[in-house]
Structure 1
Amino acid sequence: MRQRPHRPHRQPANRQPRGGHQSVWLYGRHAVVAALANPDRRIERLFATREMADRLKAEIGKTDVAIVPREDLAQRLPAGAVHQGIAALVAPLEEPMLEDLLARCSDDALVLALDQVTDPHNVGAILRSAAAFGAAGVVVTDRHAPADTGVLAKAASGALEVVPLVRAVNLARTLDQLKEAGFWRYGLDERGEAPIGTLDLRGRACIVLGAEGEGLRRLTTEKCDRLITIPTSAALAALNVSNAAAVAAYEWARQRQSV
């Protein structure tokens, strides 16, 4: 197993809420229940249908909830929002820093880094996979990445509340910092020289995934220690980025558990 020494990191100061101070709507059972269970999330207003409020009585607890008809709830939310009978207006979470992420990393940790992945459904799904397979966190670019909207939270199915989502102003510099902290950086790319299943991913691993359609940018590719692939059949040359992240996270978790 390859190991790099890593250095202690200081806790950051003056962290700001993600996306500024503007409140956001979360909707759907999993997203709202996870927000209710998160002590770092401030619930400003909670709405639910009578049926859903009764079903989630234990999860809602002492939080004030306004009982509204399903149609009234839908009118409060963005068009097309699938609310499942519950929604919450919440304050944004504090912006986690790379130091926060590294503080929760053991000597055997996975970080997923996304190079300008813009679709909130994909980022949400990647957060969900990160939570499911025990990744320490997800890094996105500060620009060309979606905000923490209800769409992203719904796709994350509660993972937005438990997985640190770090926004990197300069992804290349962040990848350098991860290297200094003992991470091996693997770029998923169709041109990769080795299938992911042939590598020893144990220790500290950062798997870097590129934007939908465009893949990894040149500078991002240069920062990776190795380019790797996920073998697919000839009928479908490439996976969607969220599917690729799920496969990669699973492979890391499988190797970790086989020790």
Structure 2
Amino acid sequence: MNDSRPPRGTGPYRGPPTQRRDKRERERDRQAAGPAASPSRPSPRPEARPADASEPRPPREQRIYGVNACLAAFARRPDDLRKVWLLESRIPKLKDVLAHCVKHRIGYSVVGDEDLQKLAASSHHEGLVFAMMPAQELSLSAWLRDLPAGPALALWLDGVGNPHNLGAILRSAAHFGVAGLLLPKDSPLALSGAAARVAEGGAEAVPVVRLGRADNSLAQLQSAGFLAAATVVRGGQPLHAATLPERLLLVMGAEQTGVDPLLADATALRLGIPGTGAVESLNVASATSVFLAEWWRQRKA
């Protein structure tokens, strides 16, 4: 049998010469069939579907480190635990956690200090790092719905952005029984590993509430019986001379700019902390502790 194909490896098989068509004829056929049929132009890929901004993104695991922060998170949210890394010296203190890991097939690794520093991105890991799902932030409506009747202190952070300040504020808030930490809608501030470590477990005791529009949020809180007070450096009523309401919304501003003037104008009180004047003001975390302590003192008195 006479085979017109070339030897293997010398080129593609195009059929016998009698079946080959003229170049112009092939070009005319391609034009008639349209661009999609042209072998020289690949079929266009389907357009990527844009993400729907209304669809919430699934939360990502976060690293929590520090013994008190990790143990408090485990005590409150054991089902959110995903992985544990620890120094060998921490094993006796973590027996319950490791037993939970074995029971639920959660991975844990005994590693060195250098590994923990990389995992935590910090040298302040205290020999322990957890991978956990982040704690859920509440909406203002959901938080108010479940808030018990009676005295309550809510803390609104306006412009505060340092995670270490957030951690220190959460620690004081847990100590003085703050019912909720309120963050503006557009604030980049959120609980991080650094904030959780500085909070020393306080991050698990205080719900974090994400606000909507400032005017609407303020109206909701006022309808729930909260009296709003803006904290100011100058011109405010001395804190220890003020009678604080049972339901207090305390608005703390950033150290450089203070509370937004429009928000401050919408509050019923302006409070300040008197001092020597040797420094302009206290650090926002320190100032928060003073305000919270006075509200707590008046409730107990």
| TM-score bin (small chain) | 0.7 to 0.9
Question: What is the match of residue 10 of structure 1?
Answer: none
- Render the CA deviation track for 1:51-101: whole Å, top value 9, x for unaligned: 1121232455423432222222222232x3410000001111222121333
Name which of 51, 55, 68 aligns with 2:89. 51
In structure 1, the residue corresponding to 2:101 is in which secondary structure?
coil
- Pick from 46, 59, 76: which aligns with 1:38? 76
Deviations, residues 101-155 of structure 1 (Å, cap 9, x unaligned): 3223432110111111111111111111110001101111232342321111112
Report Cα offsets for 1:12-47 as digits up to 9, x if no partner: xx9968xx5111100011110111101376011011
Tell me the distance in 2 between the aligned counterparts of 1:41 and 1:81: 27
Unaligned runs of 5+ in 1: 1-13
Map of 1:209 onto structure 2: 252
Following the alignment from structure 1 to structure 2, what is the Cα–Cα distance between the partners of residues 98 and 41?
25
Q: In structure 1, how many angstroms separate the alpha carbons of the residues matched to 2:97 and 2:238? A: 43
Q: So what's the TM-score if we normalise by structure 2? A: 0.75
Which of 65, 82, 90 lines up with 1:27 in the alignment?
Answer: 65
Corresponding residue number in structure 2 for 1:97: 139
Instruction: Summarize the alignment of residues 5-16 of structure 1 with structure 2, pairs less than 5 Å apart.
Output: none
State the alpha-carbon separation in 2 of the partners of residues 69 and 81 from structure 1.
12
Alpha-carbon separation, structure 2, partners of 1:243 and 1:16:
35
Corresponding residue of 1:138: 181
Task: Supply the distance in 2 between the matched residues of 1:184 and 1:15 (Cα, whole angstroms).
Answer: 35
Instruction: Give the letter for the 2:89 counterpart.
Output: E
Count, aligned residues? 242
Work out the CA distance in 1 between the residues paired with 2:160 and 2:149.
Answer: 26
Partner of 1:189: 232
Distance in 2 between the 1:225 and 1:180 partners?
14
Q: Quick one: distance in 2 between partners of 1:16 and 1:51?
A: 40
The answer to which structure has the higher helix fraction is 2
Alignment RMSD, CA only? 2.1
Is this contact kept in 1: 2:119–2:129, CA < 8 A? no
Local SS of the residue matching 2:85: strand
Between the aligned partners of 1:179 and 1:157, the Cα distance in structure 2 is 32
Give distance in 2, aligned partners of 1:69 and 1:58.
Answer: 21
- 1:177 Cα deviation after fit: 1.2
Query: Is contact 1:37-1:59 (8 Å) kept?
Result: no
CA distance in 2, matches of 1:60, 1:199: 50
Q: Is the contact made by 2:227 and 2:245 (CA closer than 8 Å) also made in structure 1?
A: no
The percent identity for this pair of structures is 33
